[in-house]
Structure 1
C-alpha cells in the first residue's frame, strides 16, 4: 500500500520523529485519552523532566478517571504539591466529576466538546483528541508556537491576538490527516529538545533548510517576547507556630486566589497585626525566632516572605476552635496539599525544632 501523501514540511517532521522523537514517555505506555489528558495538563508551564515523577505517582493513586472523580480534593492537591499552578489540579478534579456525570465517565473525543470542560483550552483539547483518540486535531502549545514562529518568520508576541490567530492558521494548515498523533508529538518534541528557547540546535533540526529565523539569523528574536515591566513584589510574615508536642499550625486557604484550597501557614502584614492576632486568640508566645527572609516567584509577582517561629504553650485557646485549621505533627506524612514554600519550611522545622 502506498504511503499517504505528506507535504515536505510534514514529511521532514515525521521522518525526524521516527528516528529522534520521544517514544517512551510514561504517558505513552499505554497512550489512553485519560493518561494524555493528565500529562498535557501537568505539562502546562512545566518541563517534562519535572512532570514524569508527578505523573507516575498520580497514576498510581488515580489510575482511572472514575477514581479521580471519587477522590477528595485534598487528596488530589496533596499529590500536586510542588508542581505549582494549583488551579490545574482543581480543574482536573472538577472535570473528572463533570465527565462522570455528563459523559458516562469517558472523555469526549471532539475538541469542541473538550474545550467546554474546566482547564481544557484549545491546544490541550487538540492534544487529547489527536494523541488520545487518533483524530486529526491541531495543537499550539508553547513549543509548537516557537517552532512555527521561527520556521515561518511570524513576527510579534505569540500571545497577541493577531499573532496567535496566524499561528493557529499555520498549525491547522500543516497538521496532516494521517499520523496526526505522531506529527503533533513530533512538533512538541522539536520545540522541547531542538528548537529550544535559548541556544536552539539548528544543525540538528529537520526544518533548518526552510527556517526563516535561521536564514535571517534571528533565532533569538523569534518568537518575540512579551514586553513587560518589572514584576511587583508583595511582602508577608508567615507564622510558624509550634506547640510543645512539636506540632505546627496550618490553615486552609480560601477557595479562590493564590494557593486556593491549600494548607499553609497563617500570614500577616507585619508584627503589629501578628501581635493583635495573638491577643485575639489568647496565645502566649514564649519567644519569636525570625528566620532569614526569602522569595517565591509566581507568574505575575514576587512574594517576599519572612518565616517567624513562635513557641506557644499548652492550651491553644481560640486557635483550637478556629475553622479551617489543623495542628500537623512535624515529621508526619503530609497527606494534603501544601505550596512548595510551605513544604520546604515544614522540612526545615523538622531539623531545627
Structure 2
C-alpha cells in the first residue's frame, strides 16, 4: 500500500480540520465524504476545491460499502461513534475516532475487542500525544527527573456553556455528556498519559448550570501509585480558553501554562522557563495514523485503550457527583 484512502464520516468544523491535516500528508487520499448535512458538505467543497469531485454520501453505511476506502475518520456526534466505528471495522476499514471515543466504557471495551478480532487498527485523535510541550513533560516525568509524583493540579476554563449552546454538544442524547466529556476529556487524558499514573478512586462535584449536561466539574483523583490529582473543568467561564497543569514530584516540579513550561529540578527552588527550542517537534493524529496503517509504527500515539481509560474515569466522576460526592473506586467499575 502506497496511499491510505480515507472516508470522512462527519465533515463539520472538526471534520474540516482533519481534512486540512490530511492535505499535508502525501500518502493520504480522501475518497469519500459522508454527512447528512448538505451545508457542511458545501462548506468542505468551498474550503477544499481539490475535493470537488470526491463522492458524497448521506448514509455512512452506503459510503463504507461504495467508497473503496482503507480507513475511516469518525467526527460525528459522540453517540454515533460506536455504531459507525463498528460498521467501519466490519467493512474492512481501519478507524481513527475523534474524542471522547465512544459512548461509555462498556462500548469502548466492546469496540476495542472487535477491532482486535478483525485485525484492524483503532485509534483516537488525542492530538496532545503528538504536541511538543506535552511530549516534553511526559519525557521529563518518565525520565525520573521529578522523582515520584505526589500531586497534580489541572485546570481548564472555556466559555463552552455559551459557545455550545443550542448545538448537539449540549444535548445529552447526542453528546453523551458535557464539558468534562468534551474539552475536559483532553485534560484528563493528557495528565494520565504524561504521568503514566493509574486512577484508583474518584470524587466529584458537578454543576450542569441549568443544562442537560455537565458544565463545571471539580474532580479529585487518587492514583494507585499514591499521588493525588485535582481536575477543575470550567465550562461556564467568560474567557475563550485557558489551561494549566502542575505536576509536583519528590525532587522537582513542572508547570504548564497555555503551552509555556516552567521546570524546577532536584536542588532547584526557583522555576526556569523551558525555551521553545528545547521542545520536541510536533505532529498530528492524521499523519500518525497514516504511518500506523502503512506499518511504519507499531502503535498509534493515542491507542484505543486511552479512550477506555478516560471513559471509566469520567463515568466514575459522574457517578460520584450523582451520589453526593461519594468516593468511587474504579475497581468497582466493571466493564463487560
**TM-score per shorter chain, which class?**
under 0.3
Structure richer in strand, relative to its length: 2
TM-score, normalized by length of structure 1?
A: 0.21
Q: Rg: which structure is higher?
A: 1
Structure richer in helix, relative to its length: 1
